[in-house]
Amino acid sequence: MNLRFIDWIWHVRGSVPLPSGQSSDQAFARLDPLFHEVGTTYERSSATLTFSKKDQPAQDSMSVFDSGVLQIEEGTGGPILRYRLGSRALLFCFLVPLLFLAFAQLTIALNAFEKPAVAGASTAAKDADKKKPEVRLNPIDKALGAPEPEKPKDGKGDKPEKKPTPTSAYVFAAIFVALYGVGRILEDRLVKRLFIRRLQDEVPASA
């Protein structure tokens, strides 16, 4: 399978125009503090920066991304910064709903498999109840005012056994779908805003 057709699931791509007159060195100098966080390693060539993160702290402004490539290219309107960032968190939020949906389908299949067995057991119990002899009060006890003996229960008053339902699985799947959708859109906007703000700094921010 060609991953190019599915890697959008856990990758964020975008581009940001460089301010007028800004060189590649100046641009990377302004972005440099982003890659001095704990757990971050990076390599830079003349116009390309590649980074990876491991056990990144939550305070890291790019903590949701585990790796990425930033490249400065010449566009029609001037130099632009193109980026491609990977996130295991986005991949996790995408895959977890599929797991919960599989649990839901498994629950439905098990309930369908157990239904004939439960129906057969219920029929057998009713037949057994019909065969039970009716208990009658003897005349002496009846004359003394003893209460009539209780009739055997036919099972209708018993509480039915609760079967597992797929509802919980569907709820959790929906929660993670929402997390993925919100995260995918929000992180895309946040990282683009972060790069724009850094590139527009008048002087390089210190590490």
| pLDDT tens figures, 80-100 | 999 999 999 999 999 999 999
Look at residue 141 and tell me whether its pLDDT is greater than 80. Answer: no
- Model confidence at 207, pLDDT cuts 50, 70, 90, reads very low
User: Can you tell me the distance from the alpha carbon of 51 to that of 42, in angstroms, rounded to the nearest whole number?
Assistant: 4
pLDDT tens per residue across span 33-83: 999 999 999 999 889 999 999 999 989 999 999 999 999 999 888 899 999
Task: Identify whether the C-beta of residue 49 lies closer than 8 Å to the C-beta of residue 36.
Answer: no
pLDDT recorded at residue 19: 92
pLDDT recorded at residue 112: 84
Order the strands of the 67-75 sheet from edge to edge.
11-17, 78-86, 67-75, 48-53, 40-44
Q: Which residues on adjacent β-strands are paired with residue 92?
A: none
Q: State the amino acid at position 25 in one-letter form.
A: D
CA nearest neighbour of 195 among 31, 19, 29: 31
Task: Identify whether the C-beta of residue 94 lies closer than 8 Å to the C-beta of residue 80.
Answer: no
List domains and CATH numbers for the chain: 3-89+190-199 (3.30.310.80)
Which residues neighbour 82 within 8 Å (Cβ) at sequence distance 6 or greater?
A: 13, 14, 15, 70, 71, 72, 73
pLDDT tens per residue across span 124-133: 555 555 565 6
For the entire predicted model, the pTM comes to 0.71
**Residue owning tokens 């057709």:** 5
Angstrom distances, CA of residue 112 to CA of 9, 163, 175: 34, 11, 26
pLDDT tens per residue across span 186-201: 999 999 999 999 998 7
Look at residue 206 and tell me whether its pLDDT is greater than 50. Answer: no
pLDDT tens per residue across span 150-190: 665 555 555 666 778 889 999 999 999 999 999 999 999 99
Task: Identify whether the C-beta of residue 117 lies closer than 8 Å to the C-beta of residue 108.
Answer: no
The kind and range of the H/E element at 75 are strand 67-75
DSSP category for residue 22:
-
